Structure 1
Amino acid sequence: MSDLGALLRKAREQRGLSLDDIQETTKIRKRYLEAIESGDHSILPGSFYVRAFVKNYSEAVGLDPDEVLRLYQHEVPAAQNEHAAEPIPVRAPRRLKSESSERMGKIGFNLMMWCFLILIFVVVWMFVINRDPDPADQLDQKTPITDASQPPTDNINAGNGTVTDNPVPTATPVPTQVPTTVTFASKVGKADKYDIGPEGTHKLEIKVSGGRSWLEIRAGGSTGEKLYSANADDGTIETHDLTQQLYVNVGRADLTEITVDGVPVPDGDRAGSKKLLINPIVSTSTPPNGEPTDTAADTDETGGAGNEPDSATSE
Structure 2
Amino acid sequence: MSDLGALLRKAREQRGLSLDEIQELTKIRKRYLEAIESGDYSVLPGSFYVRAFVKNYSEAVGLDPEEVLRLYQHEVPAPAVEHATEPIPVRKPRKMKSQASERFGKIGFNLVMWCFLILILVLVWYYVVRNDDPDTNKADDTPITENSSTPAPATDNPDPSEPAVSVTPPPPTKAPTTVTFNSKSGKTDLYDIGPAGTVHKVELKVVGGRNWVEVRSGSNRGTKLFYANAEDGAVQTYELTEPIYINVGRADFTEVTVDGVPVPDGDRAGSKQLLLVPAAEGAGASATPSPAAGEGAATDSITSE
Give the TM-score taking structure 2 as reference length.
0.41
Q: Larger Cα Rg: Structure 1 or Structure 2? A: 1
Please report the TM-score for the alignment, with normalisation by the length of structure 1.
0.40
